[in-house]
Amino acid sequence: MKTTLPVKIGNTYTMTITGIGSNGEGVGRINNFTVFVPYALPGEQLDVTIQTSKKNYAIGKIIRIITTSPQRIAPRCGLYYECGGCQLQHLSYDAQLKIKQQQVKDAVERIGKQKNLLIHPTLGAKQPWNYRNKMQFPIGMDKKRVILGCFSQGSHNIVDTRDCYIQKETNNNIANAIRDAVQKLGISIYDEDKHIGTLRHIVGRVSETGDCMVILVTATKDLHHSKELVKLLRQRLPKLASVQQNIQTYRNNVIMGRETHLLWGKPSIKDSLGTLTFHISPRSFFQVNTSQAAVLYQKALEYANLTGHETVIDAYCGTGTITLFLAQKARKVYGIEIVKPAILDAQKNARDNHVKNAEFIVGDATIVMPQLYKKGVYPDVVVVDPPRAGCTPTVLKTFANMHPKRIVYVSCNPASLARDIAILADLGYKTEQIQPVDMFPQTYHVETVCLMTAKSSGKKQ
């Protein structure tokens, strides 16, 4: 029997927006049925046409704003409503920070079932524009014209972008130089539908000093006119330090492959966080907002509450950024990471920063941590900064079984954080406080640092 839904595709309804969804869209109800409306804001009354209708929700498009939110502003970017790179440019920055705090609160209450937690106001960026030190743009063709930029919302149509307001200016210069050079040289562009052609993505990386790296992601090992391309880029980009080719042959949405070749210049560029310096290679993980990353890591260090006598485990250490921050105040820090190239970068970063109390181990945390425990390594603090999906229950149980006094959880996804703190609550860890940090202004993304403490001291086995 077919269920009749409360709203019908193509029909227009009047509704009031009551909240913001996890992707930055407005949320309200029509006939007691949830409707998501992109670019709508809480408190606004709208005429909305239903475009998509599912079993439990619908998606609508704004036809007319009847009552406008006082927090609504004109987007700075002329491509904003076409491009999918930003979702909150139509909202004042102060309001963005409040909504991100609420997003974290809603997740921990709804998903984590944790009530009355201390969730601080979001730490905003001093510069909420032109902050991204890393650009990843797909490249394509529009008839005979080379285009590159972000995908439009919910599609793989490229919006040709010449001045992205969240990218550092050097990354915009890289994009524009490559567009012109590829057009001039007639370099083959990859077609993802037919799986033919060469150039598929452009990646730019910029250090705080302005030195930059260009990575040309190709679907083939051969890149014709590579020498001419490098020459043209060097003419246009005075602080260009490295040009590399990354080969990604698979038919998927993963941007970079495992094979990289240096075409010209240095194999890496240097960047800094606080007093520490880091080598950034094409596939290195490094936070895209350098100044806010320093704020995030400083908060993690504060929550770790180190006096110089503690043993710390950093369970998803990557290239060692948080690990080296912690090493400044700890007796000993162990960084664990399953990706071997990241560990090699971490070891190099430790040597370059003259850090001798950090040890990096390749492996799965669920295997490495019990091994360390059996050897007599009893961490006072465990720090974890997992991927967006969060931690598995096995990983969380591994943390609890080592009986640290504190767990500092750095998260890029309030939903997975909420789920994991609920699991850790059952494993004996109480959430004390959560600090949202705005790493990605103008977007719906929010980072958080969460402090958890052991409900009882526990007994080492």
Residues with a known catalytic role: 412
What pLDDT, on the 0 to 100 scale, is given for residue 64?
Answer: 98
- Note the pLDDT of residue 3: 63
Please give the CATH topology (third level) of the domain spanning 12-67: OB fold (Dihydrolipoamide Acetyltransferase, E2P) (2.40.50)
Round to whole Å and give the CA distance between 423 and 421: 5
Per cent of the chain over pLDDT 70 is: 98
Domains 12-67 and 105-125+289-454 share a fold: no
pLDDT attached to residue 460 = 45
CATH number for the domain running over 134-267:
2.40.50.1070
User: 374-402: b or e for each residue (b if 16 or more CB lie within 10 Å)?
Assistant: eeeeebbbbbbbbeeebbeeebbebbbeb
Q: What residues does each domain of the chain span?
A: 12-67, 105-125+289-454, 134-267
Mean pLDDT, the chain, rounded, equals: 94
Question: What mean pLDDT do residues 242-270 have?
Answer: 95
Average pLDDT (173-200) is 96
pLDDT band, very low/low/confident/very high, at 459 (cuts 50, 70, 90): very low
How does residue 154 score in pLDDT terms, banded at 50, 70 and 90? confident
Q: What is the DSSP string of 389-405?
A: T---HHHHHHHHHT--S
What is the pLDDT averaged over residues 294-311? Answer: 96
Q: What is the dihedral of CA 373, 379, 385, 390, to 10 degrees?
A: 50
Average pLDDT of the residues in 412-438: 97
Give me the mean pLDDT over the 212-218 stretch. 98
Residue 2 has what pLDDT?
59
Rounded to an integer, the average pLDDT of 368-393 is 94
The pTM (predicted TM-score) of the whole model is: 0.92
Q: What is the pLDDT of residue 84?
A: 86
**From 3.40.630.10, 3.40.50.1000, 3.30.530.20, 3.40.50.150, which CATH number describes the 105-125+289-454 domain?**
3.40.50.150
